[in-house]
Amino acid sequence: MRQRVARNLFWMLAERGLQVSVGIGIVAMLARALGPEGFAHFQYAQSIVLVAASFALVCSAEVVVPRLVAMPAPAAQHQLLWHAFVLRLAGGIAGYALMCAYLAITQPVTDIWHAALWLGLAILLREPFGVVTAWMQAHINIRPGTLFSLTALAIKAMLVGALFAASMTDVSGYAMAFALEAVVLACLLAANYCSRGASGRPSWNPGLTRTLLRSGSLFWISFILMMGARRVDQLILQPAVPAAEFGAYAACMQILDNFTMMATILAAAIAPSYVYAQQRFGDAHAAVGRIALGLAGLGLAGGLAIAACAPWIVALLYGHAFQATTGLLRVAALASPLVFADVALTLLIVHLRKPRWVAIKWAAVLVTTLLCDLILIPRLGSWGAIAGYALGNGLAVIVGIVLWWRYRLVRELASA
């Protein structure tokens, strides 16, 4: 069993690492091909889609996987997966409709419209067919899903590379390549499940539907709030500044997103053995504190390195057309350790199984970031968005520290 778990973790980390590495290369080609203005349009469309996509995650893996493990019968698992698929698809349709409504109200340029409509296909495909990934996780066999994901990623990378080599400057062309990735992945997941899992459409169970909605509502709300908090800065900044300035800011955030993804990867690798497997709460509590300090230190070292090398990083990835990104990256990189610390402190909330706290935290972060951006962006432009990024992540860390300190007494009582 330990070998299966270790192998499962290896494939998960390998997928994340390759996703980040290939993603950096794809973004570099996009920036160089589209220029600051076209890149700004693409990134703005992607931000809208990412917020809308959060509505599709009605039944998250935290809800589906434990139930699959508890019901090993294939027929029962098939019924559960069918209900989760339908609920996620309904959420995806609602998210896509909300995205179209937002575009109709804000009336962005044609490039943004076309890119969002193509990129939005992932809303209807990625999470609904992602129930197959949850099924693989329940069977401790994530390898096929990883291979499928990397296959779809490779196809997208080759298409983007071909368009880049052909000097394509149309935003919609690159958006189609991203949409094709979601289509390929959905087809591969569906084919794998149909060849190994149960087939047919089970009868609809209203009771199971209510149970899934009730159990997953807090995770769903938390994910919507989290995506809103992470992308609200770009939604507010885009109409307030010239396209070139927004492109510079989006390029800066793209680098930091790839860097801070390391925190999630490391936490996923460390937590099962050093936090979740602890029998005594005091040991898990102490481990979270050490992990938070370690990840924060790693984030600080990486942030300082990025700030020092910002001119070379920007020139290597984006070219000289994005020189305005350098100053933004130098300052924003110094705030990135907050993300590392927040990811580590969240492990305690997950260990205690308190999704309500996650929802409260992200609601507070969203409100703080929104208010800060509404006040500062009209006056400071991109620098106001950087301030909102730092304040929002700072508040997330404060909430995590407060919760960790609050349960210090529980740790002391457990030790006694």
In 3D space, the residue among 371, 352, 356, 360 whose CA is nearest the CA of residue 398 turns out to be 360
> What pLDDT, on a 0 to 100 scale, did the predictor assign at position 385?
94
Q: Please report the pLDDT score of residue 246 as a whole number.
A: 92
Provide the pLDDT for residue 314.
Answer: 92
User: What pLDDT score was predicted for residue 345?
Assistant: 92
Residue 189 and residue 148 in contact, taking contact as beta carbons nearer than 8 Å: yes
**The predicted structure's pLDDT at residue 3:** 65
Looking at residue 51, its pLDDT comes to 93
Q: What is the pLDDT of residue 8?
A: 59
Q: What span, in angstroms and rounded, lies between the C-alpha atoms of 224 and 205? A: 26
Task: Report the alpha-carbon distance of residue 11 to residue 341 in Å, rounded.
Answer: 25
User: What pLDDT does residue 279 have?
Assistant: 75
> If you compute the radius of gyration of the chain from its CA atoms, what whole number of angstroms results?
21
Alpha carbon distance 163, 178 (integer Å): 12
Range list of H helices, 54-109: 61-70, 74-106
CB neighbours of residue 3 within 10 Å: 7
Over the chain (416 residues), the average pLDDT of each successive run of 10 is 60 74 88 90 93 89 78 83 91 95 91 93 92 82 83 93 91 92 94 75 81 84 91 92 90 90 81 74 85 93 93 89 91 93 89 83 94 94 94 94 79 49
> Can you give the pLDDT at residue 61?
76
Question: In the prediction, which pLDDT does 416 show?
Answer: 47
The residue among 267, 261, 329, 333 whose CA lies nearest residue 300 is 333
- Vertex 13 angle, CA 56 and 5, to 5°: 95
Burial of 361 from C-beta contacts in 10 A (0-12 / 13-18 / 19+): buried
Structure tokens at 155: 């196809």
CA 147 – CA 144 distance, rounded (Å):
5
